[in-house]
Amino acid sequence: MSTIVTIAGSPSVNSSTDALLSYVSRRITGAGHTVLPVVIRDLPAQALLSADVNDSAIAEAVEAVDAADAVVVVSPVYKAAYSGLLKVFLDLLPQRAFRGKAVLPLVTGGSPAHVLAVDYALRPVLTSLGADHVGQGWFVLSSHIRVYPDGGVLIDPASAGPVAEVTENFLAALARHSPVQLPPGPRRVSPVAGDPDLSVLYVEPGDPELAPLLDDLSVEYTTRYGRVSAYTQLTEVPVTDFLPPDGAFLVLTENGETVAGGAIRRYDDATAEVKRVWTSSRHRRRGLGRRLMAELERAALDLGYRRIHLTTGPRQPEATKLYLASGYQARFDVTADPETIGPLAFAKELVPGAGLADWEQPEREPETVGAGR
């Protein structure tokens, strides 16, 4: 069973948000997990405001977050966003404090006009803290929360159903994440043929070498598709899909810098799906995209796959060019306007030992970011 830290961001002593959290916490403990509450307003104000992580209460809260398997973050909507109190606490956490964890965001508010605060305001911050999986959150109207003198909480059925559902989904995601809690295996590093400065590093979700890739993809997807598009979702695939024995996440590093990366996961018994293909904006037009694709194909062969399937978005023409240049067959009408198609699918049959010669003399293809979503 898992330990789940709850971070309560309401400054109110008689808090609707806390009542919602107690309702959710009961469901979580009922499923056999341990809940460790962090109530931010109970932390010493001076230490909180000066981000004094040496203060014993602050240190204890930070350690609880670090040791937790998952986190529930709750806040009232204040001025169309989450509370400043919550932000003060999140700001003193380490940059990747939520790495390897599933996170459930919940907010309460007085007006349905701010129902999107959970996705527009809170979610990006949780993602930036390295959360592996930020599940669907929920906004609950404060008028839907009733607290009885004995501490009992009644949630209006209009909100209780969705809250129960997102909590169940969160617990299911937590169960899928449990392999991440195993001790990490040895990290595989191998040189790239023909380029002594480049290495291929097999990483795990949450490793710091992945941070530039994930941060940049998040910005790129949002820039190209807007915040609420399906194309912007980096959390729709459980990160455990990218772990052996069915998957792999690898990056190309150059003198310690992550310059490119991508992942594979199981599509079917014989087919791997490529995801998260990325090249650093400072290292494009060097052929790194094709090197990366060759490495991903080798990784797929090593895992026993015989073909690759992938999709990219309609607003990533450079990704389409990379895949065509790398020998992938387009599974759509390449003459049609990509916006009228949606996700663009590609496939390639893998031949053991073939294609790797591409590494020796990579062509200067238009390098890409955000491909193989």
Ligand X SMILES: Cc1cc2nc3c(=O)[nH]c(=O)nc-3n(C[C@H](O)[C@H](O)[C@H](O)COP(=O)(O)O)c2cc1C
* Residues at the site binding ligand X, with contacts judged by CB under 6 A: 10, 12, 15-17, 76-80, 108-111, 114, 142
- The nearest distance, CB 148 to ligand X, in angstroms, is 15
Decide: 238 and 178 in contact? Cβ < 8 Å: no
| Beta-carbon count within 10 A of 334 CB | 10
Tokens of 134: 């930020």
Counted residue by residue, the chain has a size of 373
Our CB check for ligand X shows the closer of 19 and 301 to be 19
- The nearest distance, CB 134 to ligand X, in angstroms, is 21
Our CB check for ligand X shows the closer of 77 and 210 to be 77
Our CB check for ligand X shows the closer of 76 and 313 to be 76
Our CB check for ligand X shows the closer of 16 and 25 to be 16
Our CB check for ligand X shows the closer of 26 and 285 to be 26
Our CB check for ligand X shows the closer of 24 and 369 to be 24
Tokens of 25: 């916490």
Tokens of 136: 């669907």
Cα separation, 146 vs 40, in Å, equals 22
- The nearest distance, CB 14 to ligand X, in angstroms, is 7
- The nearest distance, CB 113 to ligand X, in angstroms, is 6
HEC profile of 183-194? CCCCCCEEEECC
Half-sphere exposure of 310 (CA within 13 A, CB side): 30
- The nearest distance, CB 19 to ligand X, in angstroms, is 8
| Beta-carbon count within 10 A of 45 CB | 11
Our CB check for ligand X shows the closer of 111 and 281 to be 111
- The nearest distance, CB 138 to ligand X, in angstroms, is 13
Angle formed by the axes of helices 56-67 and 84-92, nearest 10°: 80
Our CB check for ligand X shows the closer of 80 and 230 to be 80
- The nearest distance, CB 26 to ligand X, in angstroms, is 18
Question: Positive or negative, the Cα torsion across 72, 77, 79, 80?
Answer: positive
- The nearest distance, CB 153 to ligand X, in angstroms, is 12
| Beta-carbon count within 10 A of 129 CB | 21
- The nearest distance, CB 47 to ligand X, in angstroms, is 22
Our CB check for ligand X shows the closer of 76 and 205 to be 76
Residues 6 or more apart from 118 whose CB is under 8 A from it? Answer: 105, 106, 107, 137, 138, 139
Residue type at 214? Answer: L
Tokens of 180: 């991440």
The 3-state DSSP composition of the chain as helix, strand, coil percent (nearest 5) reads: 40, 25, 35
Which whole-number Å values give the CA distances from 153 to 18, 20, 29, 37, 76, in the listed order?
10, 8, 16, 17, 17
Q: What is the DSSP string of 222-266?
A: HHHH-TTSGGG-SSSS-GGGGSTTT-EEEEEEETTEEEEEEEEEE
